Amino acid sequence: MMASFDSRVYPKMPLVAASIALIDRDGRILLVRRRFEPGEGLWSIPGGLVELGETVWEAALRELEEETGLKANLNRILDVVDVIVRDGNTIRYHYVIVVFEAMNPSGRLKQYSEECIEIGWFSLNEALSMELTKTARRILEKLTKEYGYS
């Protein structure tokens, strides 16, 4: 069962999430434009909260399929990112996101998801010029540096 939105705002403890930097055969990355906070309206990589009893690996694959309709092979953990959004002295959001690198997507890309306004494939250079979440920017910069993707 997915955590309610209310439990995500001003949480009592950090929430664990998993996301996927999915690269296609042409070196493009899949991005989703977020419908909800944090990062409403910004482009990001697909992902979401880990459900109770689910591994981060399973959560990453489930979230990818739920948000985009695609499946993929996870290569490795690319990064672990802390997203902490403060409201004065109070923590409004706190996520610990395990980011996976994946390749070889299969399936059919959805055109609509409850959590996403838009979905699309972009070269890393093109993506870096977009309005991104901080996490997505960090991951794109890391991929560009490591592999020289463009």
Residues in contact with 89: Cβ distance below 8 Å, sequence separation at least 6, in sequence order:
none
- Report whether pLDDT(6) > 70: no
DSSP codes of every residue in 10-58: S-SSPEEEEEEEEE-TTS-EEEEEESSSSSTT-EE-SEEEPPTT--HHH
In order of 16, 34, 37, 49, 54, the CA distances from 9 in angstroms are 14, 16, 9, 13, 22
Read off the pLDDT of residues 96-133 as tens digits, 9 standing for 90 and up.
Answer: 999 999 998 999 998 767 888 999 999 999 999 999 99
Residue 55: half-sphere exposure toward Cβ, Cα within 13 Å: 5
Read off the pLDDT of residues 30-75 as tens digits, 9 standing for 90 and up.
Answer: 999 999 888 899 999 999 999 999 999 999 999 999 999 999 999 9
- Report whether pLDDT(9) > 80: yes
So which residues are the catalytic ones? 118
Classify domain 5-147 by CATH number.
3.90.79.10
- Report whether pLDDT(82) > 60: yes
